[in-house]
C-alpha cells in the first residue's frame, strides 16, 4: 500500500516536471518568435535577457530591425531624387521583402529550437 503511494507521488512529480518543462519551451518559443516581429523585439530583450537561446534570437531580430529601419529610411529619402528615385523606391520595397523573408527563416529556427545564424546578417553581434 505504501509502495503504491510512493509510486503515485513519483508519477505526479514527474508529470509536474514535464509540464513545467513544456511551459518553458513554449515560453521560449513565444519570446523567440517575438524577437523577429520587428519592434516587438523589445519584449524578449527585457523579459528574458538571461536566456542564451532568447538572447541569440533577440540579437538576430534586433539586427533585422536596425537594417530595415536604416535602409528603408535612406531609400525613402533618396526616392525623392528625379529619375533615380524610382530605383531607390523599388530598392526599399525589396529590402522590406528580404527582411520579412529573413524573419520567417528566424521564426522557423525558433520553432525548431535551433540557433542558426540568418543568411547575410547573422554574423553581426549587438548583444553579448
Residues of the domain holding 68? 2-111
Evaluate if residue 19 carries a pLDDT over 60: no
Alpha carbons 66 and 72: distance in angstroms, whole number: 10
Q: What is the DSSP string of 30-82?
A: HHHHHHTSGGGGHHHHHHTTT-HHHHHHHHHHHHHHHHHHHHHHHHHHHTTST
The reply to whether 122 falls in a domain is: no
Confidence of residue 5 (pLDDT cuts 50, 70, 90): low
For the full predicted model, state whether its pTM sits above 0.85.
Answer: no
Taking alpha carbons only, the member of 51, 17, 34, 21 closest to residue 111 is: 34
The reply to whether 18 falls in a domain is: yes
Tens digits of residue pLDDT in 56-71? 999 999 999 999 999 9
How many domains are there within the chain?
1
The reply to whether 19 falls in a domain is: yes
Task: State residue 16's pLDDT score.
Answer: 53
Alpha carbons 72 and 38: distance in angstroms, whole number: 13
Tens digits of residue pLDDT in 20-37? 555 566 778 999 999 999
Amino acid at each position: 500500500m505504501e509502495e503504491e503511494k510512493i509510486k503515485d507521488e513519483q508519477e505526479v512529480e514527474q508529470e509536474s516536471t514535464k509540464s513545467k518543462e513544456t511551459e518553458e519551451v513554449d515560453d521560449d518559443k513565444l519570446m523567440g518568435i517575438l524577437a523577429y516581429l520587428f519592434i516587438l523585439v523589445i519584449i524578449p530583450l527585457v523579459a528574458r535577457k538571461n536566456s542564451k537561446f532568447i538572447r541569440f534570437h533577440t540579437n538576430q531580430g534586433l539586427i533585422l530591425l536596425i537594417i530595415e529601419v536604416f535602409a528603408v529610411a535612406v531609400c525613402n529619402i533618396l526616392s525623392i531624387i528625379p529619375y533615380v528615385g524610382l530605383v531607390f523606391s523599388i530598392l526599399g520595397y525589396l529590402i522590406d521583402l528580404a527582411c520579412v523573408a529573413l524573419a520567417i527563416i528566424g521564426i522557423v529556427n525558433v520553432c525548431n529550437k535551433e540557433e542558426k545564424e540568418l543568411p547575410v546578417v547573422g554574423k553581426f553581434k549587438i548583444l553579448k
